[in-house]
Amino acid sequence: MTGMQIAIIGGGPAGLMAAEVLSLSGHRVTVYDAMPTVARKFLLAGKSGLNITHSEDYARFAGRFGPTSGRLRAALDAFTPEDVRTWAAGLGTETFTGSSGRVFPKAMKASPLLRAWLGRLEAQGVRILTRHRWSGFADDGFVFETPEGRVVVHCDAAMLALGGASYPRLGSDGGWIDWLRGKGIAIGDFQPANCGFDVAWSPLFSERFAGEPLKAVTATSEAGTFPGEFVISRHGIEGSLVYAHAARLRDRLAGDGEAALLVDLAPGRSAERLTRDLSRQDGKASLSNRLRKGAGIEGVKAALLRELAPPETLATPERLARRIKALPIPLLRPRPIAEAISSAGGIRWSDIDDAYMLKALPGLFVAGEMIDWEAPTGGYLLTACFATGRAAARGLERWLQR
Ligand SMILES: Cc1cc2nc3c(=O)[nH]c(=O)nc-3n(C[C@H](O)[C@H](O)[C@H](O)COP(=O)(O)OP(=O)(O)OC[C@H]3O[C@@H](n4cnc5c(N)ncnc54)[C@H](O)[C@@H]3O)c2cc1C
């Protein structure tokens, strides 16, 4: 052991990864977490299969973090998607690549991986103190609220890995923002990312179709045109295809007060072919029959057309075909951050040096989703949390050796 005491505050994927690196180097590492158990969001991610990373071409992967891709690049280069898979395999979790290129544990859950990981950390001497809520700075130390009362922890160096602000019930509630702002750290307000949106559905439509998936469609926004599926919810729309567009739609709503997701309900057929197929239908037949027989559109897809397209825009085969190919869903607002998969915003890169240390607070490092970056779903979030946890740990080690 080096005898150096390191406090890692926040026991999610970023904090645990930092604990792994630092304990392996012989430092005395204590992880503090506010909740009764660590990594609750990681476990919840496991409920939908735990998309741990992505298998696409690495240059493309590393560009998925928008304008912050450049700042994240060194951390990602040092812990690539392939490294994530090797690391998971080292903990007994073999992974596979799904048809979308996303990578999942074969067990499609997080608990076996987390159990093995916590076992390894314990074997490396990491102490995990749960029910320790960091509540600010005092006397050159970190104050924690614990079941036994208030304690102040002093250490040689520390890392914050407190997560973003989505799903606050799992622990990451952004409660730390004011304490860091009080120290002059610039923090962008948290906003929902990978989120659903509210739509002004008629009561009839939302009652009848909430929970129904729209499969095999494409959706377009400034983010691009992607194939996939999404779900009608009681309030609006959600699901992976919506999340892929969420950042651009959220920013457009914030800037202009309005935004729409453009949906192609029949991506396999051109507008010309649809027009021809619809023209062949009996003009006296009901719209439902013409849609079903002429365009293969029925159920929720047909209902969505009726819900959103004024009747005159469906009056001729040409117009109907045009609507089927480009149906705008007008959005009111993003769903609340408490429901979002992840959050945008957080500690500004301007206040973090290349070693992930806060420039204004030497010896205090940061990692994970609490930093100002965002990415779509697809395993990018967890990979970047692991990678920044490792990069910040390496930065902290270099700082201790300075
Ligand atoms: C439903 C859902 C599904 C998801 N699925 C995926 C997926 O399949 N693939 C993917 O890549 N990503 C997924 N994510 C996102 C991913 O889980 C997060 O990006 C990741 O967990 C963030 O890691 P983190 O370590 O930065 O923070 P977190 O995991 O949020 O951990 C932060 C920790 O800090 C603790 N903490 C917070 N404040 C304090 C305090 N004041 N004192 C002490 N401790 C504190 C919290 O209790 C928590 O344990 C999903 C998220 C959700 C909500």
Residue-wise pLDDT tens digits, 42-83:
999 999 999 999 999 999 999 999 999 999 999 999 999 999
Categorize the per-residue pLDDT at 140 as very low, low, confident or very high, splitting at 50, 70 and 90.
confident
Residue nearest to atom 52 of ligand 1 (CA): 341
pLDDT at residue 3 in the model? 82
Domain extent listing, the chain: 5-192+342-401, 197-334
Q: How far is the CA of 9 from the centre of ligand 1 (A)?
A: 13
Q: How far is the CA of 12 from the centre of ligand 1 (A)?
A: 5
What are the pLDDT digits (tens) for 271-323? 999 999 999 999 889 999 999 999 999 999 999 999 999 999 998 999 999 99
pLDDT at residue 270 in the model? 97
Q: How far is the CA of 35 from the centre of ligand 1 (A)?
A: 12
Q: How far is the CA of 75 from the centre of ligand 1 (A)?
A: 18
Atom of ligand 1 nearest to the CA of 14: 25
For ligand 1, whether the C-beta of 35 sits within 6 Å is yes
pLDDT at residue 393 in the model? 98
Categorize the per-residue pLDDT at 24 as very low, low, confident or very high, splitting at 50, 70 and 90.
very high
Mean pLDDT of 1-6: 85
Atom of ligand 1 nearest to the CA of 133: 42
For ligand 1, whether the C-beta of 144 sits within 6 Å is no
For ligand 1, whether the C-beta of 44 sits within 6 Å is yes
Mean pLDDT of 169-197: 97
Q: How far is the CA of 37 from the centre of ligand 1 (A)?
A: 13
Is residue 1 over pLDDT 90? Answer: no
Categorize the per-residue pLDDT at 139 as very low, low, confident or very high, splitting at 50, 70 and 90.
confident
pLDDT at residue 283 in the model? 85
Mean pLDDT of the chain: 97
For ligand 1, whether the C-beta of 373 sits within 6 Å is no
Of 17, 41, 102, 383, the one to substitute when testing ligand 1's pocket (max ligand atoms within 8 A of C-beta) is 41
Report field, pTM of the whole predicted structure over 0.85: yes
Looking at CATH, the fold of the domain delimited by 5-192+342-401 is given as FAD/NAD(P)-binding domain (3.50.50)
Contact present, 371 and 236 (Cβ < 8 Å): no
